[in-house]
Amino acid sequence: MSHSSLELLASTWVPGDGPVDVRVLAAGLVNVSCRVARAGRTYLMRVAAADSEDLGLDREWECRVLGVAAAAQIAPTVAHCDPAHGILVAGWLSGRTWTAEQARAADNVDAMAGLLRRVHSLPIVEPPRIMNPRTWIRHYASALERRGAAAARFAGLADAADARLESLAAFAPVQRVLCHSDVHRFNVLVGDRLVLLDWEYAHVSDGFWDLAGWIANNDWAEEDAERLLCRYLERPPASAERARLRDMLWLYDYVCLLWSVLYSYQRPEEAGGKVAGRIELLEARLGTHDR
């Protein structure tokens, strides 16, 4: 998207009068994010990418979820949210992100566990967007099939995913909660409090899905996962809870693998480098953990 197009969008959607100063922060497959200054105030403007429909986002539900998350002070305050035009304008929040090493620090594990408990205690916006590992897998597998992606490459992992889904279904039912579903270091803003950005994957599911996301996206070892689980539960976990998280973690990695392969098909110019490296890491990790 050209800078002049972004300036036009900012002039239309960002509150205030007068000129806008637009600075692009990131441009990816899902969104273009900009810092916009106008009339002495600063905003974050996020513009949906044109080719992001297959990636499993629900921007309409995100708009409604952001209202309750912002009221709980764990999301930015929204100035405008228009899913039809793919525009989100929110108040600018100063802060930083953790490094991988900082995310492992005991105090920050405690803080992250507390943040996830707060997310999972939010009221569920009606009608709920209900998802689970099985529906995520079906969604991305179908999107890949439409692009002619070779299913044979993942045949073994697909069978392993079915086994994990059966294992997960055998656990006692748990209360479904609102999950952010894209919990990684660059979506956690660290300031006077922790704030989560980018809620477009939010849905209602097992809260362990978000724990699995934080563990997987940080490439944590088993002892790190155990520490987060203890802090989240605020007690030692039961063996069934450890096993449920292990299944959820494997399935989260598998969903991320499918997402990453889909990304590489939609953005072939970026298929090498970090994307290819992530795909290889996930394939290796899934195969190792399945043995």
Q: What is the pLDDT of residues 138-176, one digit of tens each?
A: 999 999 888 877 656 677 899 999 999 999 999 999 999
Q: Specify the pTM.
A: 0.94
Residues 137 and 68 in one domain: no
Residues 21 and 78 in one domain: yes
Q: Residue 150 burial (CB < 10 Å; 0-12/13-18/19+)?
A: exposed
DSSP state of 183: -
Residues 135 and 258 in one domain: yes
In this structure, the strands spanning 194-196 and 188-190 are antiparallel
pLDDT in tens, 187-213: 999 999 999 999 999 999 999 999 999
Residues 149 and 283 in one domain: yes
Strand, helix or coil for residue 17 = coil
**Has residue 268 got a pLDDT over 80?**
no
Percent of the chain with pLDDT over 90: 81
Peptide bond into 127 cis (omega under 30): yes
Residues 131 and 72 in one domain: no
Range of the domain at 121: 100-289
DSSP labels for 143-182? HHHHTT--SGGGHHHHHHHHHHHHHHHTSPP--EEEE---
Residues 128 and 248 in one domain: yes
Average pLDDT over residues 248-270: 88
Residues 87 and 224 in one domain: no
Q: Which of 32, 60, 91 is the last residue of a domain?
A: 91
Residues 51 and 176 in one domain: no
Q: Which of 67, 91, 115 is the last residue of a domain?
A: 91
DSSP labels for 224-273? HHHHHHHHHHTSPPPHHHHHHHHHHHHHHHHHHHHHHHHHHHH-GGGSSH
- 199: domain CATH number? 3.90.1200.10
- 39: domain CATH number? 3.30.200.20
Residues 109 and 86 in one domain: no
Spatial separation of the C-alpha atoms in residues 111 and 109, rounded to whole Å:
5
Q: Which of 91, 113, 137 is the last residue of a domain?
A: 91
